[in-house]
Chain A
Amino acid sequence: MTVPEEPLRPADADGMAARIAAVASAADRQAFAELFRYYAPRVKAYLMKQGSDGARAEELMQEVMVTVWRKAGQFDPARASASTWIFAIARNLRIDVFRREKRPEFDPDDPALIPEAEAPPDTAMLNDEAARRLREALTALPEAEQGVLRMAYFEDKSQARISAELKIPLGTVKSRVRLAFARLRAALGDESEGTR
């Protein structure tokens, strides 16, 4: 019987982008093992929150991690942090497997796309320091706002459904999200306004 390793803390996400780059450029197994140790238990926890039992969540988690290996070359640290990129892979797999739907996305290389007037100003928020500030700000949110974000991001519940389940008006759910986002943006020093 092996002694389980100490689980990694949220802050151990630092440096994960470089590990994805190492997988992409050199098929680096050590880097992948470190990614796995940090993300596999979290991806599995995410899938269990979506209603999968342990065995199914384990299987889907492995699928997500295989995808991380295979698509590592498509990871663009200017567009997303490692955690955000892996979250998107897990989310898309869940939509595909549980709902048998697609998730339509814009194509960044589409000539019909209206381009940014200038380079996106917010790449700074993707570095480790910004990720740490975002984590802290998230933990510091009022419980009501955290609760709404958890239901949306982890439980696949739309605002309308959250409103029905919590028996609070839809407007209240929306304003909690708006307030939560405003606080998180402020923590990142991002002055750009949300809308509505």
Chain B
Amino acid sequence: MALDKATVARIATLARIRVAEDELEPLAAELSGILDWVEQLMAVETDNVPPMTSVAEMTLPMRDDIVTDGDRQEAVLANAPRTGRGFFAVPKVVE
């Protein structure tokens, strides 16, 4: 499966990673190489095989829907690159 430049640019946008124009071509070749190798999966007969959803044979546990944590504003914000008035600060998103 060969990826073209436009496809790489599209998935880079989906992944929110800026990729410079001159990197798109080499990256497309690299990713295509990996996908070509992955193609061998298509040879496996899987018509009646369910996709694995859980590696361990167990049902996920239920718990009471109650608050068990919280009131840690300082700890939550401690690693943020920028904060203001007790919030995470980001570039303006509303004009």
A and B: bona fide binding partners: no
CB within 8 Å of A: which residues of B? Answer: none
Q: Which residues of A contact B (CB under 8 A)?
A: none
